[in-house]
Chain A
Amino acid sequence: MTTLSRVGHTLQRTAWQAVPTVLGVVVLNFFLLQLVPGDAADVIAAESGSATAETMAQLRTHFGLDLPLLDRLLAYLNNLAHFHLGTSPRHNQPVLDLIGGRLGSTLLLMVTALGMALAVGVLLGTIMATWVGQWQDRVLSVLALLLYSTPGFWLGLMAIVLFSVKLGWLPTGGNLTIGAGLTGWALVKDAARHLVLPALAMAGFFVAIFSRLTRAAMLEVSHQDFVRTATAKGLSPAAITLRHVLRNALIPVTTVAGMHFGTLLGGAIVVESVFSWPGLGRLALESVLARDYSVLLGILLLSSLLVIVANMLVDLLHAWLDPRIQVR
């Protein structure tokens, strides 16, 4: 089977498997959110300071909150099929626009953090596996265990204390210097400076996971026959590590990276609130506190979709990387 057809088959299979999960997520979240005490009309009434029973009824009719449960679910599914995620009563703006406006900055943060974690984690894991049992391995193992036990938001706060308050190197929050009116290269540099600390805070936990995983996978792979063959034919240790051991060890690492995509999204909620990062996580937190159903539902749906897509990408990557992985 060629690589292309293998990847094609994998795509077909994973896409087909994702359908019931997506539907399940929609229905689950919808019913979950129906249980919330108080609806968006209550919140609007409370914020405006006064509301008559007629105004409340009018608000509920306007947003379709007074329809029977099943009708609301069907209406929601119908809207979904037309890519309408509803309108946020709080912001009086389509949910898709709201989410779309925040999605970019969250994805930027997540991809940066994941990339950082993968690079550092695989590097540390390779060092640990190469000097297994020696002081490098022990020191890095302790470091990994410490990072594994540290809450990301606290890591971020401590990084602010060190790099922003004490050293004054990096900004404490936001994603751009407000009102600076920067363009071109200066803008990119400014954005990068704002990105470092939140990405660091999110990456810490994953550096620990990836380094431990890389270490374990490399130790396992290094006992395989093909590594002995590579040694026997006289390849240099560096070439064996990079081309034979590490490449095979990357398969479990990418699997776990896909599995933890949801954890990364969850971590984004807290880290974004530490760094006042204008992303999806903060939007989610704001909409929970404002009881803004449709926005929250949209974010839940979207983040679940992101998790599914991330796992599909990992499957495709595996099908491409390793011909032994067969289409089931």
Chain B
Amino acid sequence: MTTFANTPQSRFLRLIRASSQEKPVLDAFSPVPVQRHAAFWAYARNPAAVTGIVILLVVAGLAVLAGVIFPNDPLDMATRPLLAPLQSAEFPLGSDSLGRNVAAGIVHGARVSLAVGLSAATVSVLIGILVGSVAGYFGGRVDDLLVRLTELFQTVPTFLLVIVIVAIGQPSVKVIVLAIGLASWPVIARLVRAEFRSLRESEFVLAARSQGFSDLRIIFQEILPNALPPVIVTASVLVATAILIESALAFVGMGDPNVVSWGSMIGEGREQLRTAWTLTAIPGAAIVFTVLSLNLVGDGLNDAFNPRLRGLR
């Protein structure tokens, strides 16, 4: 590359690539001039989105510090059983039927929920990007085949598929992450495929082709960065969905028995629904708050990346 660095031709190509890369696709027909960090400021000015990120950071902080705040195993008996919330300063959320500290369970459960959510979404995004980019970039028969595969995975009800995969493996956190990731990639694949199809014929890709870049380099270095914004938005929603699926799985008794999870706390608290309904309500509220914050972040990112919507809200 260095030998041609100063030829007029390569400068021209760099200009094309630079100008097309700085403009994400969504901006292409936008009357709003694209500013540096415009997306960041659009996000920071959106109160709902900021609320979302604040809640998320609090939950993440609790998850990281779980071992410091409650150093004992949350599955161990800590006090007398069925202590009501707000009765004791040491156990603000009370205890369950086995005398376990509910507050410790919530904080340690945050760790499991966030870890499962993030890793499962990562697995889906990786599979989705791989399938979507190959299908969208190469087209033709490969595309047909991969679209069929995507449709197949979209047809099978996600939760049923997750249950089957967890039954095949064992109910451990690793298997649950893989199962959720394997069952929820089609959304990303469709999105990435659509982006690749529209970007495939654009000028900067043409320029990269004429420079003799390999397909691999064009896919990952040229097209993918431009296709990422909608993927990031969808990924935040995927994290939320993964947390919901994990909690449902733990609720029906198919979660990892060695870790405390919000879903399993609800499942156990359910036995005392008539006498101590807070045991069910508290972990559920934790799920709602966390998932809500992720959805707020997703909505905020969507608006921030899509300048046509910036003026509308």
Contacts and interface: CB of A to CB of B under 8 A. Distances in A.
Contact of A21 (B148, B167, B252, B295): B148
Interface in B260-313: 263, 266, 270, 273-274, 277, 280-281, 284, 287-288, 291-292, 294-296, 299
B91 interface: no
A35 B182 CA distance: 15
29 contacts: A25-B152, A32-B165, A32-B168, A36-B167, A146-B288, A149-B295, A150-B291, A151-B284, A154-B266, A154-B280, A157-B266, A161-B280, A161-B281, A263-B159, A265-B157, A269-B252, A270-B159, A270-B248, A273-B252, A274-B270, A285-B163, A288-B254, A300-B156, A300-B161, A300-B164, A303-B156, A303-B160, A307-B155, A308-B155
Given A32-B168, A149-B240, A304-B157, 14 more contacts: A21-B155, A28-B152, A33-B168, A149-B291, A153-B251, A154-B247, A154-B266, A154-B280, A158-B280, A158-B281, A161-B273, A270-B252, A288-B163, A296-B164
Contact of B167 (A161, A288, A307): A288
Interface in B216-274: 240, 244, 247-248, 251-252, 254, 263, 266, 270, 273-274
B204 to A, nearest CB: 31
Contacts of B148: 20-21, 24
Given A149-B292, A151-B287, A153-B251, A266 B157 contact: yes
Given A149-B240, A308-B155, A270 B251 contact: yes
A112 B66 CA distance: 42
B122 interface: no
Given A266-B157, A273-B252, A24 B152 contact: yes
B211 to A, nearest CB: 37
Contacts of B299: 145
A27 B244 CA distance: 29
Nearest to B154: A262
B252 A145 contact: no
A212 B168 CA distance: 37
Interface in B178-208: none
Interface residues of B, number: 41
> Could you say which of A161, A266, A299 has the most chain B C-beta atoms within 10 Å of its C-beta?
A266
Contacts of A289: 167
Interface string A263-302: 1011101100110000000001100110100001001100
A148 interface: yes
Contacts of B158: 262-263, 266
A29 interface: yes
A37 interface: yes
B248 A25 contact: no
A160 interface: yes
A78 B285 CA distance: 49
Contact of B292 (A146, A262, A291): A146
A186 B287 CA distance: 39
A51 interface: no
Interface of A: 20-21, 24-25, 28-29, 32-33, 35-37, 145-146, 148-151, 153-154, 157-158, 160-161, 165, 262-263, 265-267, 269-270, 273-274, 284-285, 288-289, 291, 296, 299-300, 303-304, 307-308
A301 B61 CA distance: 43
B151 interface: yes
A263 B292 CA distance: 19
A291 B274 CA distance: 33
Q: Is the interface of B mostly helix, strand, loop or mixed?
A: helix
Interface of B: 148-149, 151-152, 154-161, 163-165, 167-168, 240, 244, 247-248, 251-252, 254, 263, 266, 270, 273-274, 277, 280-281, 284, 287-288, 291-292, 294-296, 299
A102 B247 CA distance: 25
A300 B211 CA distance: 49
Contacts of A20: 148
B273 A160 contact: yes
B252 A25 contact: no
Contacts of B263: 151
Nearest to A165: B274
Nearest to B278: A161
A165 B155 contact: no
B247 A265 contact: no
A256 B108 CA distance: 36
Given A151-B247, A154-B266, A270-B248, A25 B156 contact: yes
